[in-house]
Amino acid sequence: MIDYEIGSFGEAKLTVEKKGQKREITCFGKITMIDKKMIWFTDNENYPYLVERKNFQFTPGTFEPNRKA
């Protein structure tokens, strides 16, 4: 099992199911909470996702705010 850390920022690939249909979402954000079977991920637009660990893939990265040229 992969160990994740609360507060880690990066790219997440989530598989979510709504009304019987599955879809994959890719977004950037941080891990907010970790449970034995679930992970709470909040994306950059402050939208929370509660995802089962088996449906969560995470690639750590660094946050670079938008800069004006």
Per-residue pLDDT of 31-56, as tens digits, reads: 999 998 999 999 989 999 999 998 89
Residue 18 token pair: 């709504």
Q: Could you tell me the pTM of the whole model?
A: 0.77
For domain 9-60, give the fold. SH3 type barrels. (2.30.30)
pLDDT in tens, 11-20: 999 988 878 8
